[in-house]
Amino acid sequence: MRQIALVAMSCLLVAACATTKPQPAAPSPAHTPAAHGSPASSVPADDLLNATVWVQTTVEHDLVFREIYRDAREHLAAALKDRHWDALPGDERNPNAAKLPPAVILDVDETALDNSPYEARLIRSGKEFDAYSFSQWVKQASAKALPGALAFTRYAVNHGVAVFYISNRSQDLSKSTLENLRKAGFPVAAEDRFLGLGTFVKGCEQIGSSKSCRRRFVARKYRVIMQFGDQIGDFVNVLANTPSGRRDAVQPYLDWIGERWFVLPNPEYGSWEPALFNNDWTLPREQRRAAKRKALHTD
């Protein structure tokens, strides 16, 4: 889940890649920028470094992704058999869902596609995330599929399940995103299977970067049996983007984790980070970093 409306975040609403700093006039990606410390050498400390190295080099990262997608595949038969199996929060469900064909929803960034090369570029350049540089990366359409994602989505399609991709990449990046998904090998049945930030859903008011309207859009014609993402906002709205507010949002659905909701690890960025400094991206890097250090506990 990449792009998030920072205005919405300041109002305590969650984004996703996805796939986010001073507040811009328009929504920008839900990327959490690197927070740099005071340079102790010629190379300043960078909070993104360990996270990105872990994503790019460790076998553990790949194994976790394979495990999650394999587990989802093993639950698919039960989900298809049970006509009342639904992975959407109650207020987003279609009351006639049992009569509808099945679908799964995937976030794009750090759920289906790996954007760690973009993070690596930020580290090497010493820069923070910005919407323009990320859009240039997206337009390259060169992100690779994450382990297990292709096998699962192809298996789902082969068993009659529609696959939708709901991302907070802006809608104007749809063409590049669809090109990348197809190039990476993902099944994309039609252009409307990608729903980016800014997608108009008739009869539903878009609030910030919430994915609720787009989930409801899928639910009008499909029974959503599984959701995949790296952010809580990929599954349910979070009314208060604080550590406690995020826990409260997911609390009613803990039994769904690993059966209907499949959460992928993303230590590089996410709405979890601004939750630690009151969602205020206008703070200098050092103040943001100090807030994160303060959140640590040693007992």
Q: What is the pLDDT of residues 245-285, one digit of tens each?
A: 999 999 999 999 999 999 999 999 999 999 999 999 999 99
Whole-angstrom distance, CA of residue 140 vs CA of residue 116: 14
Res. 41: pLDDT tops 90: no
Res. 39: pLDDT tops 50: no
Whole-angstrom distance, CA of residue 236 vs CA of residue 13: 11
Please report the pLDDT score of residue 1 as a whole number: 57
Q: What would the mean pLDDT of 44-57 be, rounded to a whole number?
A: 93
Whole-angstrom distance, CA of residue 238 vs CA of residue 248: 8
Contacts of 160 (CB under 8 A, 6+ apart): 80, 101, 102
Q: What would the mean pLDDT of 88-103 be, rounded to a whole number?
A: 95
Q: What would the mean pLDDT of 58-81 be, rounded to a whole number?
A: 98
Domain extent listing, the chain = 47-238+248-264
Res. 209: pLDDT tops 70: yes
Please name the fold of domain 47-238+248-264: Rossmann fold (3.40.50)
Comparison of pLDDT for 71 and 34, the residue scoring more: 71
Res. 7: pLDDT tops 90: no
Segment among 43-47, 116-120, 172-176 with least mean pLDDT: 43-47
Please report the pLDDT score of residue 45 as a whole number: 78
| Mean pLDDT value across the chain | 89
Please report the pLDDT score of residue 42 as a whole number: 61
Please report the pLDDT score of residue 73 as a whole number: 98
Q: What would the mean pLDDT of 62-75 be, rounded to a whole number?
A: 98
Q: For 219-247, how does the pLDDT look when each residue is reduced to its tens digit (9 = 90+)?
A: 999 999 999 999 999 999 999 999 999 99
Res. 32: pLDDT tops 50: no
- The pLDDT-based confidence of 2 (bands split at 50, 70, 90) is low
Produce one character per residue of 253-272: b if its CB has 16 or more CB atoms within 10 Å, e if not.
Answer: eeebeebbbbbbebbbbbbb
Res. 204: pLDDT tops 50: yes
Please report the pLDDT score of residue 166 as a whole number: 98
Q: What is the pTM of this model?
A: 0.86
Res. 31: pLDDT tops 80: no
Res. 8: pLDDT tops 70: no
